[in-house]
Amino acid sequence: MMDLRRFALVVVTVAVTVVGEFGCGCFGNVLTLNVLRKFAGHGKNLSALRAHDIRRHGRLLSTIGVDLPLGGNGHPSETGLYFAKIGLGNPSKDYYVQVDTGSDILWVNCAGCDKCPTKSDLGLGLTLYDPKKSSTSSLVYCDQDFCTSTYDGPLPGCKPNLQCQYNVVYGDGSSTAGYFVKDNMKLEQVTGNLQSRSTNGTVVFGCGARQSGELGSSSEALDGILGFGQANSSIISQLAASGKVKKSFAHCLDNIVGGGIFAIGEVVSPKVKRTPMVQN
């Protein structure tokens, strides 16, 4: 449960704060999420803002990880959220999802869903994910390991070919419900100083079939939510289980103009302060 208008930093195993000469620091062996200022529909895109952010902070990303651009800020009087552009499916399509460290799954609005938003005042085009149009998608069934581990055992009434369902209620009363699918997630793997290459990781995420509350009517609507919680169902847990990253994260956020970095994985440079997270 969380308030969708707050960036509740309650994630994973280790929190790392990195501060360098320009405010934000350098990361190593990580998946990094470059947090940019909010998008207000002035014709600027994520690529342009990301390039501006890199120039402004003068970062040197000597990393081995994955880089996902983000937008937004944490000011409650403005967007009150951070969001990422991610690629899903084959061929890959772009989706804008809120980054949320207080929930445990990634989900996106799917074709045919009920009360899904069709527009956003954030200046972003919204897209419905259609598993039938991706050559690499597959359904997740109730007797498969992901489903049984997510629900701590077999679901009552589970039988072959019964889809694994999800239902999440957030702190503001909004809810999302649907079913789980497995598909490719396009990732930008950082290979050196300001260098990256595209790579794919297979992840399980929710296909939103029904939304309620702010999720279906907010002027700041997005395609879904990217949960970075501690459960095995979260994307960070899935990537860690596949050996792509270690289960830790770092963050460096600019509280003046918005933006910063959210990095997933082990930070090797520069010197960082590590703080263990309080469980439960």
What is the residue range of 148's domain? 64-267
* DSSP strand pairing (106-114 vs 260-265): unpaired
Q: Centre a 10 Å sphere on the Cβ of residue 266 and count the other Cβ atoms it contains.
A: 21
Q: Which of 18-32, 48-62, 258-272 reaches the highest mean pLDDT? A: 258-272
The answer to whether residue 49 is domain-embedded is no
More confidently predicted of 107 and 278? 107
Q: How confident is the model at residue 188 (pLDDT cuts 50, 70, 90)?
A: low
Residue whose pair of structure tokens reads 């000469």 in the numeric block: 21
Is the per-residue pLDDT at 44 higher than 50?
no
The answer to whether residue 36 is domain-embedded is no
The answer to whether residue 25 is domain-embedded is no
The answer to whether residue 20 is domain-embedded is no
181-212 in b/e form (b: 16+ CB < 10 A) is: bbbbbbbbbbbeeeebeeeebebbbbbbbbbe
CATH number of the domain bearing residue 126? 2.40.70.10
The answer to whether residue 246 is domain-embedded is yes
The answer to whether residue 21 is domain-embedded is no
pTM of the model: 0.76
The answer to whether residue 141 is domain-embedded is yes
Q: How many domains would you assign to the chain?
A: 1
Segment 128-144 mean pLDDT: 96
Segment 45-50 mean pLDDT: 53
* Average model confidence (pLDDT) across the chain: 74
The answer to whether residue 35 is domain-embedded is no
